[in-house]
């Protein structure tokens, strides 16, 4: 087979150009020109030498295929937006969170769109992202794409699929494993009943001990699934060359060749998130899984966990499809609270009820800013600060509105003591939240169930409920007592936790 056919010089990418400021150089964004692929023995190490995977920073991503099963919904699978973010960008961002910072992305189908996109993404993320074009993507399977990255690699590297969504911990688990030169590590999911896996299309594996014995989509006997995440040495290229000599250009062909020699080690990643985005149904499953992850925030109070979060996560799933920013959502939630406070202050019964409903809606919407920030990688230090400041203003306006509502209806001056007490207690609970929430997160990390968290979700729910059922005075007194009591309790808990 003539391996030089199909290569060509590529044009300079359009869009943002590499610079020292974004971590890339002009040389690093050069593309492969015509060259015969040399056969690689071991990339500089002897078989059996132990390498240090934790120092691995390079990653190869295979994204050359057409994704024929998604043609009805995606003209380019890597660029198809999943909750507002292109699939390929999600893959790269996940790998960066796992500690990788140098990427070789093999593109083929619609390379003219992917190459400028990757140049822009490289500048935006400050990462080295080097596109490599496979002009024979429609003639060979994915293993051939891997061979095109061979000359750029001089040690262990992580291999990912451009259409597999994973969590950073999955890559990190591989990087924690020692790897010998001459072997390949494959992340294997042993959960055969995973709801995220299409059992008819997934690549199956048979593992004995810690060694992969067989791999393929048509295996009759199997006890695990190939997640599409590998930690490779130069052996992968030897396996690929051997597979090509047998007319098999698939990555599974290379893995099977190495597995026959006992050189593929399985790393169990059962319980960690991954999904192969190979069909419209898989895209829907992935969206649902990402949204579900938003519902498991350990510092949520009971109202947020069981009422607000199920509603806000559904709303965020819808908002993610539009160019809405977290800060815009923060301002909208504050506006809702401001309108609710104004309705309270009018003194009218219908306005009080409507204000209560808007206050609870503001509480739900207030969860969407953080959810959108996480779903679309839009989090910022300023955004968190803006949210915290406007939340305090919103709380003050709502409590003042309720207090004024009672005062204008004939309540005595004592109502101001209750109202101010509720405001002070609310501010103190918010002020002590940072260190207290750190304690909750530590309990979760240690496997202990966190205790009841009294916070803003409960406060706004009580405000809304009191306004709707016209029990404003008892609610203000209750909030004044409970919120100040909670702040004092946190001081006591913190004193014990921080004692030398």
Bridge-based pairing of strands 128-133 and 211-216 is: unpaired
Tokens representing residue 441 in the block? 């997160």
pLDDT 10s per residue in the chain (500 long)? 333 333 233 333 333 333 333 333 333 333 332 233 333 333 444 445 555 555 678 999 999 987 666 666 667 889 999 999 999 999 999 999 999 999 999 999 999 999 999 999 999 999 999 999 999 998 989 999 999 999 999 889 999 999 999 999 999 999 999 888 899 999 999 999 999 998 888 999 999 999 999 999 989 999 999 999 999 999 999 999 999 999 999 999 999 999 999 999 999 999 999 999 988 888 999 999 999 988 877 778 889 999 999 999 999 999 999 999 999 999 999 999 999 999 999 988 999 999 999 999 999 999 999 999 999 999 999 999 999 999 999 999 999 999 999 999 888 899 999 999 999 999 988 888 777 766 666 654 665 655 567 788 999 999 999 999 999 999 999 999 999 998 888 888 777 666 55
Helix ranges restricted to H, 205-271: 235-245, 251-259
Average pLDDT value for the chain? 85
The whole-angstrom separation of Cα 73 and Cα 63 is 17
Q: Where are the domains of the chain?
A: 20-286, 300-497
Classify domain 20-286 at the CATH class level. alpha beta
Give the tens place of pLDDT for each residue, 410-439.
888 999 999 999 999 999 888 887 777 666
Distance CA 93, CA 100 (A): 9
489 Cβ contact list (under 8 Å, min separation 6): none
* Residue 69 tokens, joined: 């099963």
For 300-497, CATH gives 1.20.120.1760
What are the structure tokens assigned to 405, written together? Answer: 């509502």
Q: What is the pLDDT of residue 14?
A: 32
Give pTM, 2 decimals: 0.81
Q: Which of 219, 230, 208, 56 has its CA nearest to residue 143?
A: 230
Residue-wise pLDDT tens digits, 127-181: 999 999 999 998 989 999 999 999 999 889 999 999 999 999 999 999 999 888 8
Give 277-309 pLDDT, tens digit per residue. 988 888 999 999 999 988 877 778 889 999 999
End-to-end alpha-carbon separation of the chain, Å?
71
Q: Give 137-206 as a DSSP string.
A: TTTS-HHHHHHTTGGG--S-EEEEETTEEE-HHHHHHHHTS-EETT-EEEEEE--TT-TT--TTTSPEEE
């Amino acid at each position: 087979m003539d391996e030089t056919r199909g290569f060509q010089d590529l044009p300079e990418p359009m869009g943002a150009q590499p610079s020292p400021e974004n971590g890339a150089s002009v040389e690093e964004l050069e593309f492969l020109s015509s060259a015969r692929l040399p056969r690689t023995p071991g990339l500089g190490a002897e078989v059996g030498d132990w390498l240090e995977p934790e120092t691995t920073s390079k990653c190869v991503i295979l994204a050359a295929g057409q994704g024929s099963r998604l043609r009805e919904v995606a003209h380019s699978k890597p660029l198809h937006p999943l909750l507002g973010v292109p699939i390929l960008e999600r893959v790269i961002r996940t790998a960066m969170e796992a500690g990788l910072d140098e990427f070789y992305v093999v593109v083929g189908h619609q390379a003219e769109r992917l190459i400028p996109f990757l140049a822009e993404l490289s500048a935006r993320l400050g990462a080295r992202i080097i596109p490599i074009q496979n002009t024979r993507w429609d003639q060979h399977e994915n293993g051939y794409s891997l061979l095109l990255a061979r000359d750029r690699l001089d040690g262990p590297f992580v291999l990912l699929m451009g259409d597999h969504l994973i969590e950073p911990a999955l890559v990190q688990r591989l990087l924690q494993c020692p790897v010998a030169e001459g072997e390949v590590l494959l992340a294997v999911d042993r959960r055969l009943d995973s709801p995220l896996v299409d059992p008819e299309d997934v690549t199956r594996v048979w593992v004995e001990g810690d060694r992969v014995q067989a791999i393929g989509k048509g295996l009759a006997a199997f006890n695990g699934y190939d997640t599409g995440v590998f930690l490779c040495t130069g052996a992968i290229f030897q396996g690929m060359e051997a597979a090509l000599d047998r007319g098999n250009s698939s990555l599974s062909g290379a893995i099977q060749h190495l597995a026959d020699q006992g050189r593929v080690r399985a790393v169990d990643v059962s319980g960690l998130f991954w999904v192969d985005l190979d069909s419209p149904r898989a895209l829907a499953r992935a969206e649902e899984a990402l949204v579900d992850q938003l519902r498991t925030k350990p510092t949520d109070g009971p109202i947020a966990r069981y009422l607000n979060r199920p509603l806000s996560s559904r709303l965020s799933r819808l908002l993610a499809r539009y160019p809405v920013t977290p800060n815009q959502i923060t301002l909208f939630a504050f506006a809702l609270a401001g309108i609710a406070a104004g309705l309270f202050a009018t003194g009218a019964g219908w306005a009080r009820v409507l204000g209560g409903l808007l206050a609870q809606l503001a509480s739900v919407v207030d969860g969407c800013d953080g959810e959108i920030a996480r779903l679309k990688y839009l989090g910022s230090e300023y955004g968190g600060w803006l949210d915290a400041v406007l939340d305090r203003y919103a709380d003050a306006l709502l409590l003042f509105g309720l207090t004024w509502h009672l005062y204008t209806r004939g309540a005595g001056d004592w109502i101001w003591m209750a109202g101010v007490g509720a405001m002070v207690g609310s501010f103190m609970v918010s002020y002590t939240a940072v260190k207290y929430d750190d304690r909750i997160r530590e309990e979760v990390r240690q496997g202990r169930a966190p205790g009841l968290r009294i916070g803003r979700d409960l406060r706004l729910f009580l405000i809304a409920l009191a306004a709707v059922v016209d029990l404003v005075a008892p609610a203000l007194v209750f909030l004044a007592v409970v919120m100040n009591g909670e702040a004092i309790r946190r001081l006591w808990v913190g004193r014990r936790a921080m004692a030398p």
